[in-house]
């Protein structure tokens, strides 16, 4: 089985934020994601990671939480100064917390100028943060209407254009299904660009079990092909508590 990470922004929400690290380790996760860690003290996060022997896989850019504002702005023409200012803040958090990946959110935008802006910002970010791995993630139009990066083929073209060794594709199986329908075909076409994997149930984004996509076969394929990255659980638990739905992991009995 792959190494699993828990997205603590979506899992264990029945607990306060810092208690989620303990719960994730108890459930058998070896790593975590925190999409927006900016409201917590970095020292508290580091203590929680160290106490539970967890690695921090990913945080999102921009800070802070996007509630009430655009979901990213790396592709928004005219927002270059804001993006660069906030990317530097994200980079400080990533360095302090030892985050392996920073996901750069494109935001709501359309057209050739948005693409040019996104490419320019990605080139700039990749250049000033050469020791930090970065990702971009296609997100479906239903979950984020108007989001610029809404197609895996578009993401592949942009990655080829930027051509930065520290910029990779973030492959979310749920979004791949919602955008393209055939997750396996999408994976086969773009897996050479993938630097991080996220999973969620299809079609409802609950636990990754059942439904039209064969997750056990997917995990077996990752093992057989030597994928050595983390697979992050990014979904909305269907039960009252997260551990009650973790049978899909196959790691240990759940409470």
Q: Of 30, 33, 137, 207, which is the active-site residue? A: 137
Q: How far is CA 10 from the centre of its chain?
A: 11
**For the chain, where are the alpha helices, taking DSSP H only?**
19-27, 42-52, 80-97, 112-128, 152-162, 173-180, 183-190, 215-224
First to last CA, the chain: 21
19 is catalytic: no
CA distance 172 to 236: 14
Q: What value, to the nearest 5°, has the Cα angle with vertex 52 and ends 173 and 91?
A: 60
Pick the closest to residue 174 from 153, 143, 154, 203 (CA basis): 203
Active site residue 137: yes
Q: Are 152 and 131 in contact (CB under 8 A)?
A: no
Q: Give the residue numbers annotated as catalytic, written as ranges.
A: 137, 234
């Amino acid at each position: 089985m792959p190494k699993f990470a828990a997205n603590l922004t979506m899992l264990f929400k029945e607990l306060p934020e810092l208690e989620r690290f303990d719960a994730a380790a108890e459930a058998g996760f070896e790593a975590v994601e925190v999409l927006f860690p900016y409201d917590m003290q970095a020292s508290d996060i580091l203590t929680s990671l160290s106490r539970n022997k967890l690695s921090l896989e990913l945080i999102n850019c921009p800070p802070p939480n996007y509630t009430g504002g655009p979901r990213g702005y790396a592709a928004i023409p005219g927002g270059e100064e804001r993006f660069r200012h906030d990317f530097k803040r994200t980079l400080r958090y990533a360095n302090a917390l030892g985050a392996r990946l920073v996901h750069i959110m494109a935001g709501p935008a359309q057209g050739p100028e948005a693409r040019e802006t996104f490419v320019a910002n990605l080139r700039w970010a990749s250049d000033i943060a050469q020791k930090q791995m970065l990702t971009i993630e296609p997100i479906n139009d239903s979950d984020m209407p108007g989001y610029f990066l809404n197609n895996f083929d578009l993401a592949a073209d942009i990655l080829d254009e930027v051509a930065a060794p520290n910029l990779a594709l973030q492959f979310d199986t749920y979004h791949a299904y919602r955008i393209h329908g055939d997750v396996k075909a999408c994976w086969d076409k773009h897996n050479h660009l993938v630097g991080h994997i996220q999973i969620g149930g299809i079609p409802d984004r609950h636990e990754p079990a059942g439904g039209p996509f064969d997750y056990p076969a997917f995990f077996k394929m990752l093992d057989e092909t030597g994928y050595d990255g983390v697979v992050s659980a990014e979904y909305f638990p269907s039960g009252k508590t997260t551990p009650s739905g973790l049978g899909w992991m196959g790691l240990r009995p759940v409470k």
